[in-house]
Chain A
Amino acid sequence: MPDNTTQNRGTKGISISELAVTFQSEDSEPVEALRPTSLEFEAGEFIALVGPSGCGKSTLLNVLAGFIKPSAGQALVGGETITKPDIDHGMVFQDYALFPWLNVIDNVAFGLERQGMGLAERHAKARDYLDMVGLKDFADKRVTELSGGMKQRVAIARVFATDPSIILMDEPFGALDALTRRFLQHQLLEIWQRNRKTVVFVTHSVQEAVYLASRVIVMTARPGRVKLDQKIDLPHPRDFSGEEFRRLEKLIYDQLDEELAKSFKLEGGGGTFHD
């Protein structure tokens, strides 16, 4: 493996204190998306955020990315308040967000160019990161020629290439089929083990959360707050069918089921959840 991919500036912790988000729209009542929440993520932790739809996990991620301003409290990365999007806070989106007018390698090199790197240097580095996700031979392809899984690998190469202090991932594998998903989970873990970045990973899949994360945070139904904060100490690679794995999975599911039942009731649906 080329060494370009291993030299990095390191990573930072995230400190969230009394962070709350309320959406204020002109013609309707304000919507409380996130109740005052406090969390400490240590540098190099892999955090998975799970919760029912609309529980504010994406809202929290968008605050960390600098897209949304909190209504109260604050979020700090490495001791500095997040005020706006920053190349130091990388993000992977569910629908890849590759630039279709650029080919694969220029997508990966986009952030490097913004960091002021010259063409030859950034292409060399981008190639290394494409190699890391196994797409070296696709460097000159158009992104529209790639499958969904390949696109997300390009997006992962793109975010790691800029060497950010934290990486935010918003349901990155949500749109992929089960097999591709497994493959990418495995690949992401390998990359993370080599570049220990703080990762905040939003997902709907409990199995995915337990498989990947060093810590799983379960959020309540809207308005969101932390329901469960569970460390996962299992060694990698984790076995889906292992006893401890399944115990943790069940623990998290039980917590989630309570919240799901609540959120269905909130939506005014008849009947009970366990019917």
Chain B
Amino acid sequence: MKTSVKTAASVLPYLWAAIFIVFVWQMVVVFTQAHVALLPPPLLAAKTFAELVVNGQLFVHAGASLGRVVSAWLLSAAIAIPLGLAMGRWRRFEHLVDPVIELFRPISPLAWIPLAILWFGIGETGKIFIIFIATFFPILLNTVSGVKGVDPVLIRAGQVLGCDNDRALFRKVILPAAMPTIVVGLRISFGTGWAAIIAAELVAAQVGLGYLIADGMEVLRSDLVLVGMVAIGILGVLIDAVFRTVNDRFSWGT
């Protein structure tokens, strides 16, 4: 009961936002008399949305995009977290690796798209590669700062309470202490990955929400484009909500 009230309260602002957006959209259509191929009215877009839901196409596209992001994101986490732990713990190692990271970091994942296509073609590998780059740095940097931010007194407490080797100290103190920051990195990186997958699919894909948008443009079906965009927005918000729940679990109320 209490939780359902709470959920309703947190959904309400989004509902208002949606109503506002639809209203503005409708006004633009009414006042500019836009051609239906350029800007369809909300009702038409809603119809197309419903069609794609009924025939299952929307789920196929969304599923393909999500699948790519999740697998690349997991791959990123599997590499970035251990690397970040090591960088955060050993200064010398950090000094060695950090310049490399700093040189790569400013390069947008989108700048890698041409190379990804040249190297991997337009198959799955190329897209996973792009998302890997997009998700890697937020996880890495948060893990490093999480480990560095561990209160030294907690490490000392761990040592006098029987963590007499580096491994035990890592497992029992450093990792749990750094966890909230790492989870934040995972959340941010999923967002950057989700933004990048659309771009990767715009260029080269046969399926996915980005493809839906690109294809809609080519056949002059802006309702398809808008449906793709709406789906991206809704899924983005939902995924972030899931992460926020996970976040709360890991942030011991401090």
Stretch at the interface among A97-105, A210-218, A229-237, A247-255: A97-105
Report the interface size class on chain A: 20 to 34
Q: What is the minimal beta-carbon distance from A156 to any residue of chain B, in angstroms?
A: 13
Q: Is A71 an interface residue (CB 8 A)?
A: no
> Which residues 94-147 of A have a CB within 8 angstroms of B?
95, 97-102, 110-111, 114-115, 142-145
Stretch at the interface among B19-27, B47-55, B66-74, B157-165: B157-165
Q: Is A84 an interface residue (CB 8 A)?
A: yes
* Complex partner residue of A101 from B160, B161, B176, CB under 8 angstroms: B176
B157 touches A101 (CB 8 A): no
Stretch at the interface among A85-93, A177-185, A259-267: A85-93
CB-CB under 8 A from A145, the residues of chain B are 253
Q: Is B78 an interface residue (CB 8 A)?
A: no
Mark interface residues in A141-164 (1 if CB within 8 Å of B CB, else 0): 011110000000000001000100
* Complex partner residue of B159 from A85, A98, A142, CB under 8 angstroms: A85
Q: How many positions in chain B have a CB within 8 Å of any CB in the partner chain?
A: 21
* Complex partner residue of A100 from B161, B162, B254, CB under 8 angstroms: B254
A91 touches B252 (CB 8 A): no
Q: Is A65 an interface residue (CB 8 A)?
A: yes
A142 touches B161 (CB 8 A): no
CB-CB under 8 A from B163, the residues of chain A are 114
Q: How far is the CA of A60 from the CA of B6 in the complex (A)?
A: 54
Closest to A65 in B: B160
> Which residues 140-158 of B have a CB within 8 angstroms of A?
151, 153-154, 156-157
Which residue of A85, A87, A110 has the most chain B CB atoms within 10 A of its CB atom?
A85
Given A144-B253, A144-B254; A101-B162 close (CB under 8 Å)? no
* Complex partner residue of A144 from B159, B164, B250, B252, CB under 8 angstroms: B252
B162 touches A90 (CB 8 A): no
Q: Is A273 an interface residue (CB 8 A)?
A: no
Mark interface residues in A61-100 (1 if CB within 8 Å of B CB, else 0): 0000111000000000000000011110111010101111
B253 touches A99 (CB 8 A): no
Q: How far is the CA of A143 from the CA of B151 in the complex (A)?
A: 16
Q: How far is the CA of A66 from the CA of B164 in the complex (A)?
A: 11
Given A100-B252, A101-B252, A144-B253; A90-B154 close (CB under 8 Å)? no
Q: What is the minimal beta-carbon distance from A64 to any residue of chain B, in angstroms?
A: 11
* Complex partner residue of B164 from A85, A99, A102, CB under 8 angstroms: A85
* Complex partner residue of A87 from B156, B161, B252, CB under 8 angstroms: B161
Q: How far is the CA of A84 from the CA of B163 in the complex (A)?
A: 11
B160 touches A85 (CB 8 A): yes
A-B contact count (CB 8 A): 68
Q: Is B214 an interface residue (CB 8 A)?
A: no
CB-CB under 8 A from B159, the residues of chain A are 66-67, 84-85
B162 touches A114 (CB 8 A): yes
Which residue of B153, B160, B172 has the most chain A CB atoms within 10 A of its CB atom?
B160
A91 touches B160 (CB 8 A): yes
Q: How far is the CA of A99 from the CA of B178 in the complex (A)?
A: 12
B177 touches A101 (CB 8 A): yes
CB-CB under 8 A from B172, the residues of chain A are 110, 114
B164 touches A87 (CB 8 A): yes
Q: Is B179 an interface residue (CB 8 A)?
A: yes
A142 touches B253 (CB 8 A): yes
CB-CB under 8 A from B153, the residues of chain A are 93, 95, 97
Q: Is B241 an interface residue (CB 8 A)?
A: no
24 A-B interface contacts by CB (under 8 A): A66-B159, A67-B159, A85-B159, A87-B162, A87-B164, A90-B160, A91-B156, A97-B153, A97-B154, A97-B156, A97-B157, A99-B157, A99-B173, A100-B177, A101-B177, A101-B179, A101-B252, A110-B172, A111-B162, A144-B252, A145-B253, A158-B161, A162-B161, A162-B162
Residues in B lying within 8 Å of A, measured CB to CB: 151, 153-154, 156-157, 159-164, 168, 172-173, 176-177, 179, 250, 252-254
Residues in A lying within 8 Å of B, measured CB to CB: 65-67, 84-87, 89-91, 93, 95, 97-102, 110-111, 114-115, 142-145, 158, 162
List the 4 shortest-distance A-B pairs measured between CB atoms, nearest first: A114-B162, A85-B159, A87-B162, A97-B157
